[in-house]
Structure 1
Amino acid sequence: MRYKVALRNETRHRLRTKIKKADIVVGIPCFYDEDTIGYVIQQAAEGLAKHFPKYKKVILVSDGGSLDDTREIVIAAPVPKGVEKMAFIYRGLPGKGTAFRSIFEASKILGAKAILTLDSDLRSITPLWIKLMAQPVLSGKYDYVTPYYLRHKYDGTISNNITYPLIRALYGLRIRQPMGGDFALSGDLTKAYLIEDVWMGDVARFGIDSWMTTEAINKGYRICQVALGTKIHNPKEPSLKLGPMFREVVGTLFSLMEKYEYNWMQVKGSKPTKIYDHYKTTEPEALLVDVEGMIGQLQHHYSDCHDIWREIMPEDNFRAVRELAHTKGIKNFKFSLDLWARIVYDFAIAYHEKELPEKEILDLFTPLYFAKTGSFAQETLKMSSKEAERVVEAQAKAFEKEKPYLIERWEEV
């Protein structure tokens, strides 16, 4: 069912009669997070009380209908005097984006000046995060604050290999964690998000972060990054389970290329985005990956997909993919940076052409993404997460280098 708002009537009534007003809202989307949500609330509440004693502040937990003790833990979690909290179940399409929508709606009702969003499974958050994230917005200097932290080299592979380099090459801003989950936003920006008619598709799910970042860039909102150290959370191991998330994120990015075609066609190169503060980083917890299984996705699907891949890709790119599909041994498998950039652009163009259903294009793209991720994991096997950042940066530069290829092919459609 399509809902005009994500907040239920009872929740809106509670906000208007119990909370009434807030300067700072910390919003936490959650779903089955009983093991971690209490800690996130504790750290956020302490940060609000310590660093913003004169502001009216509230923590809002938007739950997707958890059947464990997530909401009970939220209700029972102690918070310092002067910090309010509230939990509710949103309505609409189940997903992170709908949870964000409900938080933004609540923030509008409360007249919030700064809205922070936090992942519900954070284990590295400290009270200082709240200060660092909120200050740029409360100062009036920025509308959108993205996190700048060190993640495990195999955590965030969609961002590393697609979202970060693609947004950078298209729109010309280097925003390292465009889908980091932990953001600070101005009230004006969240109101602008709410009027967009996007809440019945991928943006309602995992497409939300990339959509928010892309919209903020293209609508001219003031953006900065804030250093938060190392992100430790319950990472999503880049296995086959990430397939649906990949399709939602990439579908959102490709759709936005249609919307902002005029803008990105004018952009050449990229420029840094201001990073505030310095936070010491440590090597994140180890994350194991199935390199052989991911690379094997290309080889497994080649026989079924190669005819259509050949239609989507120019001959040179297809021939390189065919060679990869027939490579023996994972140590010999190397998905080059330039080839990957061109293939991402090939699928963006296929999405633009609309000769195949969008879902089919994304399904055809998925095995190639897994193969690229496996290649990245193999290449960085002996590197620290900080050292692996050099490979991520090299990939981003390859996207910029190959952008004329994208423009040339796009204009032929």
Structure 2
Amino acid sequence: MASIPTHIDAAAQQTAAITTGSLLVSLPPLPDGSFDTMLASLAAAFPTETVLVATPAAAPNGTTHATPGNIHLVPYTPAATSTTNWVLTAADYLNTFKGAGETQASACLLLGAECQSLTPEAIRALAASVTGSNADLAVARYNLGPREGLFNSAILYPLTRALFCVRSRYPLAIDLGLSLRMAERLAAASQKFISTNQSDALLWPCIEAACANYAIAEVDVGSRVLPQPAAADLNTLLAQIGSSLFAEVDARAAFWQRARGAQPSLSVDLSAALTESPDIAPMLDAFHLAYANLHEIWSLVLPPNSLLGLKRLSVTPANSFNMPDGLWARIVYDFALAYRLRTINRGHLLGALTPLYLAWVASHLVLTGNGTPPEKHIQDLASAFEADKPYLVSRWRWPDRFNP
């Protein structure tokens, strides 16, 4: 494991001397009011324990805060900085491990933007998973609306579950509990990005933990305000996340081709259904336009059976629009393979995936609008990804086997 350079200042040394072995909570920059709310939540979550709170500034904006007696603020100068605040990045993992080293903390909580909306109970549960059990990684599970987090539901969750045997519902969660060895592993993985000035690069904690055979716990944190990306362009967001995930799949191929079984997941409510019909016309318009203009590109990526499935979808009425789970799984798998092979420019490749994703969303909304519980469909989709994993393994090893 690569060592992580740290710089311990006098204030950190003094804090460490008093609170060695305590929990370190790493916070993002927060506005004054939110910072005070967060400190109060931490005090309520750990009323009898000493908690170290690492923040880029002990008193944001130079103001004075009433800090509860068991909360010790640890100001730090980030080893790397990120301009992305809606998801955790390489800079966040490196800074968290740096703080753990400076304070000699026994475990870490890494919380994302808008973390003041987490309840004290949720915060304590995340910490307990890495301090009171054998888990090295605790991942938050959020209670989102049926139309929220659909990119996670369509690609991130089913792909991570099928390939890496990790059932965490939000594999890119922004609230995590970390053992020291998990924090060190993530920091080491971050360094390769930091060294090339990619502090905003995404890491995949669940995949890191799975590949290291570390135990993963999933913690239901209930409702939470999730930060929104500054860029509202779907193409940009899908390219950023999809590129990172497909690159991780490529880098970890030796692991996932032999991975078997899956960790247990939290029980989920499969009964809740939507009661109103969504407007899917813009999504279908995007898909139909792409079918007319991108068919040639899709034919470079997808085998004939998938193209036939898309042809059928292109003439399906809106009220019965339904993309089969198996078709969507194969589309994602074939795009992951095309990313590895550089079949076409990777930017163009991920752009060509966007209208297909919108078609999946439209299909999901039609299905749930007709009475299928949203979570049931997501779990069925994940099962389809699992069942079709041999298809990806075979194509990964022999890419030309299914070509006409």
Range into which the TM-score falls when normalised by the shorter chain: 0.7 to 0.9
Distance 1:201 1:367 in 2: 32
1:177-326 pair list within 5 angstroms: 177-196=170-189, 197-199=192-194, 204-205=199-200, 207-208=202-203, 211-228=204-221, 230-234=222-226, 236=228, 241-268=233-260, 270-273=261-264, 275=266, 291-326=280-315
Q: Is the 8 A contact 2:141 2:170 kept in 1?
A: yes
Return the offset for 1:334: 1.7
Q: Is the 8 A contact 1:202 1:252 kept in 2?
A: no
Return the offset for 1:159: 1.6
Could you say if the C-alpha distance between residues 369 and 103 of structure 1 is closer, same or farther in structure 2, counting changes exceeding 3 Å?
same
Q: Is the 8 A contact 1:154 1:287 kept in 2?
A: no
What amino acid maps onto 2:53 in structure 1?
I
Could you say if the C-alpha distance between residues 93 and 243 of structure 1 is closer, same or farther in structure 2, counting changes exceeding 3 Å?
same
Matched, 1:42 2:40: yes
Which secondary structure state, in structure 2, belongs to the residue aligned with residue 29 of structure 1?
A: coil
Q: Is the 8 A contact 2:54 2:75 kept in 1?
A: yes
Distance 1:75 1:288 in 2: 49
Return the offset for 1:235: 6.2
Instruction: Provide the residue aligned with 1:28 in structure 2.
Output: 27
Distance 2:77 2:212 in 1: 31
Matched, 1:94 2:77: no
Q: Is the 8 A contact 2:39 2:68 kept in 1?
A: no
Matched, 1:408 2:394: yes
Q: Is the 8 A contact 1:258 1:352 kept in 2?
A: yes
Matched, 1:162 2:161: no
Could you say if the C-alpha distance between residues 337 and 36 of structure 1 is closer, same or farther in structure 2, counting changes exceeding 3 Å?
farther
What amino acid maps onto 1:207 in structure 2?
L
Return the offset for 1:403: 1.0
Distance 2:292 2:196 in 1: 31
Return the offset for 1:104: 2.6
Structure 1: unaligned runs, 5 residues or longer: 64-69
Q: Is the 8 A contact 1:122 1:231 kept in 2?
A: no
Instruction: Provide the residue aligned with 1:67 in structure 2.
Output: none
What amino acid maps onto 1:398 in structure 2?
A
Which secondary structure state, in structure 1, belongs to the residue aligned with residue 27 of structure 2?
A: strand
Return the offset for 1:327: 3.9
Could you say if the C-alpha distance between residues 360 and 199 of structure 1 is closer, same or farther in structure 2, counting changes exceeding 3 Å?
farther
**TM-score normalised by L of structure 2:** 0.82
| Deviation sequence 1:293-341 (CA, Å, 0-9, x none) | 333322233333221111100011122223334444x323222211110
Which secondary structure state, in structure 2, belongs to the residue aligned with residue 266 of structure 1?
A: coil
Q: Identity of counterpart residues, as a percentage?
A: 22
Matched, 1:145 2:143: no
Return the offset for 1:201: 8.0
Return the offset for 1:247: 2.1
Instruction: Provide the residue aligned with 2:362 in structure 1.
Output: 374
| Deviation sequence 1:220-256 (CA, Å, 0-9, x none) | 112122233x22314659x963433322222222112
Instruction: Provide the residue aligned with 1:13 in structure 2.
Output: 9
Q: How many residues align?
A: 385
Distance 2:289 2:36 in 1: 43
Q: Is the 8 A contact 1:40 1:120 kept in 2?
A: no
Which secondary structure state, in structure 2, belongs to the residue aligned with residue 117 of structure 1?
A: strand
Q: Is the 8 A contact 1:294 1:374 kept in 2?
A: yes
| Deviation sequence 1:236-287 (CA, Å, 0-9, x none) | 59x963433322222222112222212211234x434365xx999xx9xx99
Q: Is the 8 A contact 1:169 1:400 kept in 2?
A: yes
Structure 2: unaligned runs, 5 residues or longer: 400-404
User: RMSD of the TM alignment (CA)?
Assistant: 3.8
Return the offset for 1:123: 6.4
Return the offset for 1:17: 4.7
Distance 1:292 1:61 in 2: 45
